[in-house]
Amino acid sequence: MNSPRHNWTKDEVLAIYNKPIMELLYDAASVHRRHNDPNEIQVSTLLSIKTGGCSEDCGYCPQAARYHTDIEENDLMSIQQVKAQALRAKATGSSRVCMGAAWRNVKDGPEFDQVLEMVRTINKLDMEVCCTLGMVTENQAQRLAEAGLYAYNHNLDTSEDYYEDVISTRAFDDRLNTINHVRKTNVTVCSGGIIGMGESLEDRAGMLVALTTLNPQPESVPINALVAVEGTPMEDEEPISIWEMVRMVATTRIVMPQTQVRLSAGRTQMSQEGQALCFFAGANSIFAGDKLLTTPNPDINEDKELFALLGMNTQEPFSKKEQPKTTEAIDSRFMDLGEKPKWTRPGHTIERNEKAKQKAKAVRKPTT
Ligand code: SF4
């Protein structure tokens, strides 16, 4: 088994992506079975613990407060609610619970303390706990680690070049800085992106190059297909074809042989045969649950049926890395520093984001 390479070039990655499909599938499947059990699949449940009202302007996201979408906003869930959902996820075969909060970044205070308690609670249920809370400082990452966090998700979303066409409220480097902060702890890194946002193939390759350059490479890489939600700047983007997804998964598998490649948003648009091709090409993880934050996802029974049909087994928690220990808040070595970091706000204008914002303003304007 060779170690993962960190010096892939965009041209090399593009050449892989554009191979004749039979060759690409053969190469990806060969790499996959050299490094992973091809019949094993890891299942994560994604839970939106705080929904909507986000100050960011991510062009793909219905949770951005500045766009008008029909999502239902919700304040931070209680620990009891999260525990009940985690138990449900465990009973239906998930090994991991990923908690997502629609925040630009973490701010120290009671809400973060509550999230830390949720992490402790789920880790004590012997499930892998992941959080996606926006940008975090090093101290915040340490506090999450101490609570027993297994993984932190922070997607690069797209290439560095295309990033400024998608988001104007933060910079690509902010993403890398957060990943670096997480890497200073024993928490694993989950980072991937979205295809179908109008990016070029060079951008897809650029995103993969950026992910492979991370050393170590992320332990998991979610590959999302855009779900174009009405009211967002990307509402008119055409859905990507299954072949684009298969190519992206296969290329990801070849350049990141040991990572868990996760089929994420957009799975409802994929047939069983399409998903099977992705598994053959190296996808070995999915998000389960009837909703992915705010967008639809296949029912858990459909997933179980598919795994049975394909003869795939679900992965046990902590098969890849041992369970982190949970330190109680009272014994914490890392204190609440009262951090309210500002991070970068480039603030350039993105035409389609601006249009969606104006449209939302017009809808909300009270009639006189
Ligand atoms: S993707 Fe996250 S940061 Fe961006 S608008 Fe949505 S909730 Fe906010």
CATH code for position 135: 3.20.20.70
pLDDT at 316: 96
Q: Which domain holds residue 248?
A: 10-318
Residues with CB under 6 A from ligand 1: 54, 56, 58, 61, 63-64, 102, 104, 134
Q: Two tokens at 212? A: 């492979």
Distance of CA 275 from the midpoint of ligand 1 (Å):
27
Low-confidence ranges of the chain (pLDDT < 50): none
Does 195 map to a domain? yes
In a domain, residue 352? The reply is no
Does residue 85 lie within any of the structural domains? Answer: yes
Query: How many Å lie between the centroid of ligand 1 and the Cα of residue 97?
Result: 19
Output the CA 269–ligand 1 centroid distance in Å.
Answer: 22
Look at residue 5 and tell me if it is in a domain: no
Digit-coded pLDDT (tens) for 325-352:
999 999 999 989 988 887 888 989 999 9
Is residue 348 included in any domain, yes or no?
no
Query: What pLDDT is recorded for position 226?
Result: 96
Backbone phi and psi for residue 266, each to the nearest 5 degrees, phi listed first: 95, 5
Q: Which of 60, 57, 256, 76 is nearest to 168 (CA)?
A: 57
The pTM (predicted TM-score) of the whole model is 0.95
Of 58, 154, 224, 227, best ligand 1 pocket probe by most atoms within 8 Å of the beta carbon:
58
DSSP 301-315: HHHHHHHHHHT-EEP
Residue 327 domain-assigned (yes or no): no
What pLDDT was estimated at residue 268? Answer: 87
Ligand 1 atom nearest residue 62's Cα: 6
Q: What is the pLDDT of residue 289?
A: 73
Nearby residues of 225 by Cβ (< 8 Å), 6 or more positions away: 194, 195, 196, 239, 240, 245, 265, 266, 267, 269, 270
Q: Say how many domains are in the chain.
A: 1
Continuous segment of H or E residues that includes residue 354: helix 351-364
What pLDDT sits at residue 366? Answer: 67
In a domain, 366, yes or no: no
How confident is the model at residue 367, as a pLDDT? 57
pLDDT at 293: 66
Residue 188 resides in a domain: yes
- Cα of first residue to Cα of last residue in the chain, in angstroms, is 70
